[in-house]
Amino acid sequence: MSHIASRGSGRRDGADRAPTYVSADRTLRVKVVDTCGLTYTFCHNEGTPVVTDNLGRVPQAFTSTGRSGRVSIYLGSNGVSFLPATVAPNAEFFRALHTMTEALDLRELHLTGGEPTLHPRLAEVVALGVSAGYRVCMTSNGENGARTIPACAAAGLDRVNFSIFGTTPDELAQVQASKYANPRRAAAKIAALRASIQACADHGVKASANIVVPDQTHAARVRRLLEEFTPDLSVRLLNSLDDGQRSIDAIHGILDDLGGVRVERHITAGASGFRDAYRLDSGRVIYFKQIRPVRLPVTCTGCRFNNDRDCQEGYYGVRLYRDRAGGFQVGVCIQRMDLCMTLEEFAGSDLRTEILELREAEYRQLAADAA
């Protein structure tokens, strides 16, 4: 389901006829593993606790200050009640995917973590997702991609979104937990990322780079990324939610400096993410990805985070987790993990109906607005 129209305005003269594309959100995000070798100070860890720091703890005692150095930034307030388990590529997972397809007419499976490339049977997970009728994608920091991506490509992996914060060892070290803020260690991680991106190119997997831009001082990172990597690597600039308008202004400044003209807008109905495509003076196209203020009309009403200051993602889409008790959990907000429910409960719930109705209503409205 998609729609195209020719309204909109660009950053420079001549872009006022840039087309808008509207599609419906049909993506399922699945946390396949909790393990990760990086310790970003701003990581949300898909809303769940870091397992290695919380084994044996009851939910009321979950902590984000354990020996691993990793964090889950919403843990103190999101009401999460379970520890995530590694997803096995078995009949039970296949049935879970089928149930979610039946419930929400989903078509894309997006693997997250932790770090998915550290899953011991990742290629089998990809193959199972493909056999369940999904286009399979992944978000990765690239630390183990050179070893895993070739087999995943053979299994049908379509795309990898690489999360890139540091483009030099010093930059990467600055956003790691203090005990791991070592430029030598960071250099090895960056080398692994480069090898992972190359593995995608070598094996026909589409690759994109997501880079967060908190303020104008990060412009040099963006330029290095564009200079060092082939145009085959799709670059997406993301504004920092914590830095608000300063981050958005910084990205617009970078785009202006690079001669960017907006040539397309892509809006996903029923989810908060959208992106604008900009063609640079060099001819390269890069994207600016942002968050729309999308809310579930019933579930989000009355939520303590439902304001312009505290709600970080809005309604971003559905997530599936395997819990250590042996079941699957469906979540709709990493800031409100107390909203999670079992897969069986979700399939017959009013929440499922609410998601479907929001998606359809938004699609109709957005398509009409763009026409």
Q: Domain limits of the chain?
A: 2-370
Does position 6 have pLDDT exceeding 70, yes or no? no
> What's the pLDDT score for residue 13?
45
259: number of Cβ within 10 Å: 14
| Nearest alpha carbon to residue 86 among 287, 327, 322, 368 | 322
Q: Identify the pLDDT of residue 171.
A: 85
DSSP E strands, the chain: 2-5, 20-24, 27-31, 108-112, 135-140, 159-163, 206-213, 234-239, 261-269, 273-279, 285-291, 318-322, 328-331, 341-342
pLDDT at residue 7 greater than cutoff 50: no
* Mean pLDDT of all residues in 347-365: 97
What pLDDT, on a 0 to 100 scale, did the predictor assign at position 294? 96
Cβ neighbors of 166 (< 8 A, separation 6 or more) are 172, 173, 174, 175, 186, 190, 221
Per-residue pLDDT of 122-158, as tens digits, reads: 999 999 999 999 999 999 999 999 999 999 999 999 9
DSSP state of 301: T
Q: Which residues have a Cβ under 8 Å from the Cβ of 95 and sit 6 or more positions away?
A: none
Q: State the average pLDDT for the chain.
A: 92
3-class secondary-structure state, position 13: coil
In the chain, the percentage of residues whose pLDDT exceeds 90 is: 75
Please give the DSSP secondary-structure letter assigned to residue 159. Answer: E
The H-or-E segment that residue 52 falls in is helix 51-54
Average pLDDT of span 254-260: 96
Q: Measured between alpha carbons, how far is 287 from 264 in angstroms, rounded to an integer?
A: 9
Cis peptide, bond prior to residue 283, ω within 30 of zero: no
Q: Using one digit for the tens of pLDDT, what is the confidence trace for 263-307? A: 999 999 999 989 999 999 999 999 999 999 999 999 999 999 999
pLDDT of residue 82: 97
Q: Which residue has the higher pLDDT, 167 or 1?
A: 167
pLDDT > 70? residue 193 = yes
**Within a 10 A sphere around the Cβ of 228, how many other Cβ atoms?**
10
Position 182 confidence tier, pLDDT thresholds 50, 70, 90: confident
Query: What average pLDDT does this structure show over 89-118?
Result: 98
* Residue 329, token pair as written in the block: 């959990």
Q: What is the pLDDT of residues 159-181, one digit of tens each?
A: 999 998 888 888 888 888 887 78
pTM score of the predicted model: 0.93
2-370: CATH topology: TIM Barrel (3.20.20)
Beta carbons of 108 and 25 less than 8 angstroms apart = no
- 1-5, 156-160, 186-190 — which is least confidently predicted? 1-5
pLDDT (0 to 100) of residue 230: 80
What pLDDT score does 103 carry? 98
Helix 91-104 and helix 350-370, axial crossing angle in degrees, nearest 10: 50
pLDDT at 228: 84
Q: Confidence class of residue 241 from pLDDT cuts 50, 70 and 90?
A: confident
How confident is the model over 306-332, as pLDDT tens digits? 998 899 899 999 999 999 998 999 999
Structure confidence at residue 11 (pLDDT): 52
pLDDT at site 121: 98
Residues 6+ apart with CB under 8 A from 337: 47, 48, 74, 78, 79, 80, 81, 331
- Asked if residue 102 has pLDDT above 70, the reply is yes
pLDDT higher than threshold 50 for residue 2: no
The strand pairing partners of 238, in sequence order, are 212, 289
